[in-house]
Amino acid sequence: MSMGRVLTEEFQPDVLKWLRERVDLVVINPWMEPERWDIEVARVDAVISRKGKITRDHLERSGGRLKIIARTGVGVDPSRVDLEAAKEFKIWVTNQPGSNSVSVAELVFGQMIALARHTHAADRAVRANRWSEYLKFTGTELAGKTIGIVGMGNIGTRVAIRARAFEMGFLVYDPYIPESHVTALGGRWVGLNELLAAADFVTIHCPLTAETKGMIGGKELKLMKPTVYLINAARGGIIDEQALWQVLNGKKIAGAVLDVVENEPPEKDHPLLQLDNVILTPHLGAMTVEAARRGEWGAAEEVIRVLEGSRPKNPIFVADEARLLMPA
């Protein structure tokens, strides 16, 4: 007997098979079928989502039927899920802390090497029969450099561990963790301005909140070395994109990699797309087989717990009290 109707995105086959044995399953790619997604969100008992949006309108149209929104990733971006509306309607919202930490940390180092060794530009040169220009792509080593980590949660900690393996020093800015956590790993806890001024690489790993929105703006970017590389694999709104365009366009910093932008996908005429010293990827941080398995299985199990009448393991807030447990 079915436990209810559940909407999911296109997940791994074994996850979907397991769910189909328990619920009536509706599978939709919200990027490819946004209108169908919009209709079905209001017709189900649970939603398991990676990228799909859940708005106040969806929750109002649900009429109290929707019991849980289970996110497969670490973050619960307010632009993806209307948390205030979910609290108001007392709907569980869950995430999967730690599920993508290794994947994001590994991507950061891949991006750092691509920046430091100019591999993207060199690839384009070879394809254009400009092999002889190889001296233009002389890079720099990571060893001996300093990485500044903004946000020392699960992902930031994994980045710090890998920095030591690359023989890098690291600075950390995170007002919500004890200094002892940083020093135990061999780093130094500093203020944001000191980190930005001293680091050779700056990588962002904090959630997007009212406090962090626009945290890296024009003033902060001007503190950075002209040789610095900036990496953002967290959330796009944390960096002021207009200010970033100005420093990149003016060659005031060496370059940037953005796995996220404020509005995804970006408009085709987005100014940052026109620059040759920025690498953009389509929010790939968690996009590995391993992270997907952890996140999808974890979210699927949360849905079944709630449909069985139990409380989920990783709630963002307590649904029956509408009390926030942790920042989104």
Residues with a known catalytic role: 235, 264, 283
Beta strands in 167-312, from DSSP E residues, in sequence order: 169-173, 188-189, 201-204, 229-232, 255-258, 278-280
Dihedral sign for Cα 129, 134, 135, 140, please. positive
Show the CA angle centred on residue 104, arms to residues 100 and 108, nearest 5°.
Answer: 170
**What are the backbone angles phi and psi of residue 207, rounded to the nearest 5°?**
-75, 160
- Residue position matching structure tokens 């859940």: 54
CA 96 distance to own-chain centroid:
12
d(CA 149, CA 205): 7
Side-chain-side CA neighbours of residue 33 (13 Å): 12
Structural tokens at position 57: 């309108």
Helix-, strand-, coil-residue percentages of the chain, each rounded to 5: 40, 15, 45
- Rounded to a whole number of angstroms, the distance between the first and last alpha carbons of the chain is 35
Considering only CA atoms, which of 161, 157, 163, 150 is closest in space to residue 191? 150
Structural tokens at position 134: 């190889």
What does each C-alpha distance from 320 to 87, 119, 242, 250 come to in angstroms?
A: 9, 52, 41, 52
Considering only CA atoms, which of 275, 266, 249, 155 is closest in space to residue 203? 155
Crossing angle between the packed helical segments 289-307 and 101-116, to the nearest 10 degrees: 150
